């Protein structure tokens, strides 16, 4: 039995050694790219050349974007210089111009205050008219929209005739 096991081991070793020698002596006759659609070395080189071309185009696009960013930065710097000049020119205005601007602003503030006072006074006019004139109260309740005259923004019905006072 021992002889049988050692014979099979020797046979296996001999077959393995023969396979190694045959692979070194005989030329390889395989075809490239059997799995990848029969690609050859030429098509692989062409693909690599195309990839290199794409990398070059990408680098060119990046350079163009950097140039655009630099141009935008220059434009922003120019705008900042313009604003700085405007501030300097404004600060150098003579005092009489500033005095005139200040008086105009004070006058505008006064006008706005007067307008607010008039608006406040007009807010109560409906209530006062209702209390003093019964015909005004009836006319207002007969309006289709129940609108009052002091808050209306569009033209609408107007008072005709003289209202009679409430007694």
The number of angstroms, rounded, from the C-alpha of 139 to the middle of its chain's C-alpha atoms is 54
Task: Give, for all 167 residues of the chain, the pLDDT tens digit.
Answer: 445 555 677 777 777 776 776 666 665 555 555 555 566 788 888 888 899 989 989 999 999 999 999 999 999 999 999 999 999 888 887 777 778 888 899 999 999 999 888 887 777 787 787 788 878 777 777 776 655 555 544 444 444 444 444 43
Three-point CA angle 50, 56, 59, nearest 5°: 145
96 is written with which tokens?
Answer: 């009489």
Name residue, tokens 């141009």: 71
**Please, what's the largest Cα pairwise distance for the chain?**
144
Q: Residue 37: which region, alpha, beta or left (left: phi > 0; alpha: psi -120 to 50)? A: left
- Contacts (Cβ under 8 Å, ≥6 apart) of 41: 32
Among the residues of 31-133, which ranges form H helices? 41-91, 95-123, 125-132
- The model carries a pTM of 0.34
């Amino acid at each position: 039995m021992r002889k049988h096991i050692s014979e099979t081991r020797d046979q296996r070793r001999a077959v393995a050694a023969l396979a190694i020698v045959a692979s070194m002596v005989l030329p390889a006759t395989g075809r490239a790219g059997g799995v990848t659609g029969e690609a050859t070395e030429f098509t692989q080189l062409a693909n690599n050349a195309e990839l290199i071309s794409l990398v070059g185009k990408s680098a060119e696009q990046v350079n163009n974007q950097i140039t655009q960013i630099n141009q935008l930065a220059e434009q922003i710097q120019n705008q900042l210089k313009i604003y700085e000049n405007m501030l300097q020119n404004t600060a150098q205005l003579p005092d009489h111009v500033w005095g005139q601007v200040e008086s105009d602003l004070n006058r505008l503030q006064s006008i706005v205050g007067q307008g607010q006072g008039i608006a406040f006074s007009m807010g109560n006019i409906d209530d006062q008219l209702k209390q003093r004139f019964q015909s005004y109260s009836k006319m207002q309740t007969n309006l289709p929209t129940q609108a009052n005259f002091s808050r209306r923004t569009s033209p609408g019905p107007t008072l005709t005739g003289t209202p009679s006072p409430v007694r």
